[in-house]
């Protein structure tokens, strides 16, 4: 395991989420010949270029054929390999969704399907490449674990945790280059166990993925107003950490913030959970992308336009808090 430090965190943030994925997987594969990387011809876009050259026996480019990539990955996973298969989020979660359903769901083959550039990270590539529905689609598959790492350091943690993890996982990578830094020192990571980045208060944010970095900044601004906000990193979107939600429900206000359509994402998952398992629900406000195709621009513009950068999250929360 490479050390999580301020220096490394800065370096990873600079090279970005996708390159960090490739770098982290290379580091793991170097020590573990059982790790295989598959890519539907997006090796160069996911930092796997070097991987494919240094470990050619552990890499397969399936061609631009995501359905086949998932099927082949399932066969390899059945043979006991730790398979990490990656492509852009909509192609992983929707083009190949039925292969995911049959192979990773129905047959429970423990493939680790890595969704690159999810959320709005693909910027000018447009809605065809955005991953705004993937959590909603993947959540419906029984037995599939869904994880969205908060930052580059957590990508390392998640990949390490997934090696030898005998269940299928959908790993949702949001964020791009200059990804917000959440972690600058070592910490314990466990699949399914949410992490309080800031201790619970009367107002709590629950989020996942690189959106957390923006939430931290929004919370800083609220702290200056005299409002302390608890922040929960719900990196494992499925299964949810029921204990952490129970703790969060002690708050007067809960905000769920996600770079995803509000239909079927983390907010929906938490509302479903609370509705099913708790008699009273604190007031939960969900914030994400509306039910529409979004405008196109660079990543910071998209986050701003969709109020998912720190300022937008802050404005959303202030609006709801004022109406309370």
Partner 1 sequence: MITNTPINPHEARRLIVETAAECGESAHLGGALSMIELLSVLFGGFLRHRPDQPDWEDRDIFILSKGHAVLGYLVVLHLFGYFDRDKLRTFQTNDSDLIAHPIKKIPLGIESSNGSLGQGLSYGLGVAIGMQKRGQDRRVAVMMGDGECNEGSVWESAALASELGITNLVAMVDVNGFRNDGENTMYTRGPNIADVWRGFGWHVAEVDGHDEAAITASMDSAFKGDQGPHVIVAHTTKGKGISFMEANNDWHHNRITAKVLEEIEAEMGGANHD
Rounded to whole angstroms, how far apart are CA atoms 170 and 212? 19
79 interacts with partner 1 by CB under 8 A: yes
Nearer to partner 1, 102 or 163 (CB): 102
Using the rule CB under 8 A, which residue among 5, 27, 45, 78 binds partner 1? Answer: 78
Q: Taking Cα atoms as reference points, which of 254, 228, 134, 116 lies closest to residue 176? A: 116
- For position 186 contacting partner 1 by CB under 8 A, the verdict is no
User: By CB under 8 A, is residue 144 in contact with partner 1?
Assistant: no
Q: Which of 120, 61, 123 lies closest to 258 in space, CA to CA?
A: 120
d(CA 174, CA 250): 29
User: At closest approach, how far in Å is the CB of 73 from partner 1?
Assistant: 6
Instruction: Based on the shown chain and the rule CB under 8 A, indicate whether residue 80 belongs to the binding site for partner 1.
Output: yes
Annotated catalytic residue: which of 3, 31, 54, 66? 66
Contact track, partner 1, 28-57, x by CB under 8 A: -----------------------------x
Instruction: State the burial class of residue 21 (Cβ atoms within 10 Å of its Cβ: 0-12, 13-18, 19+).
Output: buried
- Verify binding: residue 74, partner 1, rule CB under 8 A: yes
Say whether residue 103 binds partner 1 (CB under 8 A): yes
Q: Is 60 in the site for partner 1 (CB under 8 A)?
A: yes
Give the Cα-Cα-Cα angle 213, 314, 319 (nearest 5 degrees): 150
Question: Is 66 assigned a catalytic role?
Answer: yes
Q: Is 142 in the site for partner 1 (CB under 8 A)?
A: no
CB 137 to partner 1: min, Å: 16
Measured between alpha carbons, how far is 196 from 248 in angstroms, rounded to an integer?
10
Contacts of 272 (CB under 8 A, 6+ apart): none
* 277: number of Cβ within 10 Å: 12
Per CB under 8 A, does 89 bind partner 1? no
**Cα separation, 316 vs 74, whole angstroms:** 42
The single residue among 9, 19, 29, 70 that binds partner 1, judged by CB under 8 A, is 70
Interaction of residue 170 with partner 1, rule CB under 8 A: no
Of 35, 72, 137, 138, the residue at the interface with partner 1 (CB under 8 A) is 72
What 8-state DSSP symbol labels residue 294? P
Structure tokens at 37: 């990387």
Residue 106 interacts with partner 1 (CB under 8 A): yes or no: yes
Select 79 or 223, whichever has its Cβ closest to partner 1. Answer: 79
CB of 103 to partner 1, least distance (A): 6
Apex 14 CA angle, 287 and 36, nearest 5: 85
> For residue 239, is the peptide bond before it cis, meaning its omega torsion is within 30 degrees of 0?
yes
Q: Which of 99, 118, 174, 268 binds partner 1 (CB under 8 A)?
A: 99
Kindly state whether residue 67 participates in binding partner 1, applying the rule CB under 8 A.
yes
Comparing CA positions, the residue from 132, 130, 182, 122 lying closest to residue 156 is 182
68 forms part of the interface with partner 1 (CB under 8 A): yes
Report, as residue numbers or ranges, the catalytic residues: 66
Binding site for partner 1 (CB under 8 A): 57, 60, 62-63, 65, 67-68, 70-81, 98-99, 102-103, 106-107
């Amino acid at each position: 395991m490479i050390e999580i430090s301020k220096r490394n965190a800065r370096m990873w943030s600079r090279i970005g989420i996708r390159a960090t994925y490739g770098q982290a997987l290379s580091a793991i594969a170097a020590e573990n010949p059982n790790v295989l990387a598959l890519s539907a011809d997006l090796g160069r876009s996911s930092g796997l270029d070097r991987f494919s050259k240094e470990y050619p026996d552990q890499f397969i480019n399936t061609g631009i054929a995501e359905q086949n990539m998932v099927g082949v990955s399932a066969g390899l996973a059945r043979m006991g390999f730790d398979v990490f298969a990656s492509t852009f989020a909509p192609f992983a979660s929707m083009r190949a969704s039925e292969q995911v359903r049959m192979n990773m769901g129905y047959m429970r083959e423990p493939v680790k399907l890595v969704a690159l550039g999810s959320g709005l990270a693909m910027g000018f590539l447009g809605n065809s490449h955005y991953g705004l529905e993937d959590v909603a689609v993947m959540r419906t598959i029984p037995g599939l674990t869904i994880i969205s790492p908060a930052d580059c350091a957590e990508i390392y943690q998640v990949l390490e945790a997934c090696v030898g993890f005998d269940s299928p996982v959908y790993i949702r990578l949001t964020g791009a280059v200059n990804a917000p830094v959440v972690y600058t020192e070592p910490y314990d990571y466990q699949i399914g166990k949410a992490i309080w980045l800031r201790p619970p208060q009367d107002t709590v944010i629950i989020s996942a993925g690189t959106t957390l970095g923006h939430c931290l900044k929004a919370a800083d601004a609220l702290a200056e107003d005299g409002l302390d906000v608890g922040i929960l990193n719900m990196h494992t979107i499925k299964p949810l950490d029921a204990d952490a939600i129970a703790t969060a429900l002690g708050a007067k206000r809960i905000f769920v913030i996600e770079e995803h359509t509000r239909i079927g994402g983390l907010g929906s998952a938490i509302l479903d959970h609370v509705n099913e398992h708790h008699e009273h629900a604190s007031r939960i406000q969900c914030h994400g992308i509306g039910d529409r195709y979004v405008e196109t621009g660079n990543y910071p513009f998209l986050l701003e336009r969709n109020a998912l950068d720190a300022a937008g999250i802050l404005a959303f929360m202030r609006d709801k808090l004022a109406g309370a």
